[in-house]
């Protein structure tokens, strides 16, 4: 792995009353996800193509939105799993073999949890990382939804996302959404919902491949995860 990067994760389990962790408070989602803003104010990836992310189990969905004023990257993730769903991001198309990060939203016997980290050879690594404004919704029988933000830094014509510098006008990454089981604190193998990673430009909400349907194979890929730098 590139020496600039390390996979980090936060493990936060919410109870009936949300509580504060190092990265903020987890609260129930107070709005519905929608596909209507895709390609205008946010970049979206989904399976099937243009599916409704309002909470149907047939739709795996992730979106990203860069907010220059707040210096943040907002992420939405929705899908169906009896354990967890995750958004992975990296700098190469083979996410599990290269530098990557992963954002995990899960359902542990009716209790929501949120984690960040990375994975190599289909093994999830868990280490704390900064994320905030974490919101969630669990819908029976198996729908999991979450939204959260990660900080970005701006300087001149550059934008720094999780320790990686990009030009503000072009932020090329690969995204994939995953799902898996979760039992006693142990992650099951990530399975792709998309079939392969999707090449996108986070600076362009209309970037190629962002809303194309992808054939399903054996694994699931999401906002979430992104390559992280050594602190």
Question: pLDDT per residue over 51-101, tens digit each?
Answer: 889 866 789 999 999 998 999 999 999 999 999 999 998 888 887 776 778
pLDDT at 52: 87
Considering only residues 65 and 185, tell me which one the structure prediction assigns the higher pLDDT. 65
Spatial CA neighbour of 78 closest among 224, 227, 231: 224
Q: Is the dihedral of CA 207, 225, 14, 106 positive or negative?
A: positive
**Regarding predicted confidence, which is higher, 98 or 47?**
47
Residue 188, CB-side half-sphere exposure with 13 Å CA sphere: 18
Question: What does the pLDDT read at residue 60?
Answer: 94
pLDDT attached to residue 185: 85
Enter the pTM of the model. 0.80
What residues contact residue 109 under an 8 Å CB cut-off, 6+ apart? none
What are the tens digits of pLDDT across the range 191-230?
A: 999 877 889 999 999 985 544 333 322 222 333 333 233 2
In whole angstroms, give the CA distance from residue 42 to residue 47.
Answer: 16
Would you say 28 and 137 are in contact if contact means Cβ atoms under 8 Å apart?
Answer: yes
pLDDT of amino acid 225? 31
* 50's tokens: 């243009």
Rounded average pLDDT over 156-174:
86
Enumerate the β-bridge partners of residue 108. 111
Question: What mean pLDDT value characterizes the chain?
Answer: 77
Omega within 30 of 0 (cis) for the link into 74: no
Return the higher-pLDDT residue of 138 and 1. 138
pLDDT at 164: 80
| Whether residue 18 has pLDDT greater than 50 | no
Predicted local confidence at residue 10, as pLDDT = 26
Tokens at 224, concatenated: 């979430």
Beta strands in 26-171 (DSSP E): 27-28, 43-47, 60-67, 72-80, 84-90, 100-108, 111-120, 123-126, 132-139, 143-155, 158-161, 164-167
What is the structure's pLDDT at 184? 81
Which residues have a Cβ under 8 Å from the Cβ of 184 and sit 6 or more positions away? Answer: none
Burial class (CB in 10 A: 0-12, 13-18, 19+), 114: buried
Does residue 114 surpass a pLDDT of 90?
yes
Cα dist from 100 to 3, 194, 195, 212, whole Å: 12, 17, 17, 22
Is the predicted pLDDT of residue 181 greater than 60, yes or no?
yes
Nearest CA to 220 out of 53, 103, 134, 91 is that of 103
């Amino acid at each position: 792995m590139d020496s600039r990067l390390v996979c980090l994760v936060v493990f936060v389990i919410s109870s009936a009353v949300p509580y504060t962790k190092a990265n903020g408070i987890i609260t129930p989602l107070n709005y519905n996800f929608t596909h209507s803003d895709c390609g205008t104010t946010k970049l979206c990836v989904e399976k099937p193509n243009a599916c409704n992310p309002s909470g149907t189990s047939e739709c795996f969905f992730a979106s990203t939105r860069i907010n220059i004023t707040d210096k943040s990257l907002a992420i939405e993730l929705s899908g169906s799993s009896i354990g967890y769903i995750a958004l992975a991001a990296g700098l190469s198309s083979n996410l599990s073999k290269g530098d990557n990060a992963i954002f995990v939203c899960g359902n542990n016997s009716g209790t929501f949890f949120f984690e960040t980290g990375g994975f190599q050879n289909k093994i999830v690594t868990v280490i704390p990382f900064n994320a905030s404004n974490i919101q969630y919704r669990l819908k029976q029988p198996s729908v999991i939804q979450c939204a959260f933000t990660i900080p970005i830094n701006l300087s001149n014509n550059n934008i720094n996302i999780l320790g990686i510098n990009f030009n503000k006008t072009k932020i090329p990454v690969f995204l994939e959404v995953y799902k898996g089981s979760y039992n006693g604190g142990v992650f099951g193998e990530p399975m792709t919902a998309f079939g392969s990673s999707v090449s996108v430009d986070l600076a362009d909400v209309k970037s190629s491949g962002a809303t194309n349907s992808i054939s399903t194979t054996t694994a699931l890929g999401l906002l979430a995860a992104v390559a992280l730098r050594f602190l």
